[in-house]
Amino acid sequence: MKTTSASVFRELHLQAAPLKLPNVWDAGSARQTESLGATAIATTSAGVAWSLGYRDGNQLPVEDYVARAASIARVISVPLSADIEGGYSDIPATVALTVSRFMDTGVVGINIEDGAGDPHALCRKIEAIRAASVRSGVDLYINVRTDVYARNLVCAADKADEVMARAQSYRSAGADGLFVLGLTEAGEMRAIAEGTSLLLNVAVWPGLPPVSDLAALGVRRLSAGSWLPQTLWAHHAQLVSGFLQHDKMMPMLEKAAPYSEINAMF
């Protein structure tokens, strides 16, 4: 089953249009997302962290995160990818063990990021992960997020070249996809897509070209990132503050999904 799911996940990146990948944070959000037509689902580390009471940024206890991935996999039938941030360890073998635990839950893809760290250190993690996936018999899709744009790691004129240099190293280490967080400029997007054999992933971001233009620019995957839980946090704050401070009950009643509809999903 995992082998089939892994193959399906890979094929979804080769469609005419980019794979739209919603990011979820628990079993309920995953089940609803699948019911709305998602062909694959990914976790958002930020959303999972917040839902478990932790800050985003490599603070999640691995045990809790693996349990959350298992609960998500239990209620969906589409491929599942997990955002594991930096891998929750500086030791490649430990990162590979963590990924093996995720694969045991049914995860067939991961995101792992370089952040502001040494890209060569990330390459060693990727190599260890790829070896673990081969041993497990799961053709894991390894999507590597680079933060060159999101963190302004180099000057603007050098960003695309820096990304492509990192992509070459990540590809040699065993990566499949390249997630360039914060990339929005069409010309640079095309140049990066043409400059690497890794499949290009971008995120919903202010200034991003229309979805209808992304395929022509070489984008193979579009991620929702943490925008969905961020938006829901804002709506929740409005409802709760209205109830507590202004005695407003109707917004909760008017905008609520029917109890029976939610219950019937499970």
pLDDT tens digit sequence for 219-230: 999 999 999 999
What pLDDT score was predicted for residue 3? 67
What pTM was estimated for this model as a whole? 0.96
Average pLDDT over residues 62-80: 98
Average pLDDT over residues 181-194: 98
Residue 137: band (very low, low, confident or very high) from pLDDT cuts 50, 70, 90: very high
Measured from the Cβ of residue 14, the count of other Cβ atoms closer than 10 Å reads 9
Query: Would you say residue 17 has pLDDT above 80?
Result: yes
What pLDDT score was predicted for residue 42? 98
What pLDDT score was predicted for residue 104? 98
- Rounded-to-integer distance, Cα 189 and Cα 255, Å: 39
What pLDDT score was predicted for residue 2? 61
What pLDDT score was predicted for residue 218? 98
Q: Are strands 41-43 and 23-24 parallel, antiparallel or unpaired?
A: parallel
Query: Would you say residue 1 has pLDDT above 70?
Result: no
List CB contacts of 55: < 8 A, sequence separation 6 or more. 49
What pLDDT score was predicted for residue 86? 98
Q: What is the three-class DSSP state of 180?
A: strand
What pLDDT score was predicted for residue 63? 98
Average pLDDT over residues 234-259: 94
Residue 67: band (very low, low, confident or very high) from pLDDT cuts 50, 70, 90: very high
What pLDDT score was predicted for residue 255? 84
Task: Please name the amino acid found at residue 245.
Answer: Q
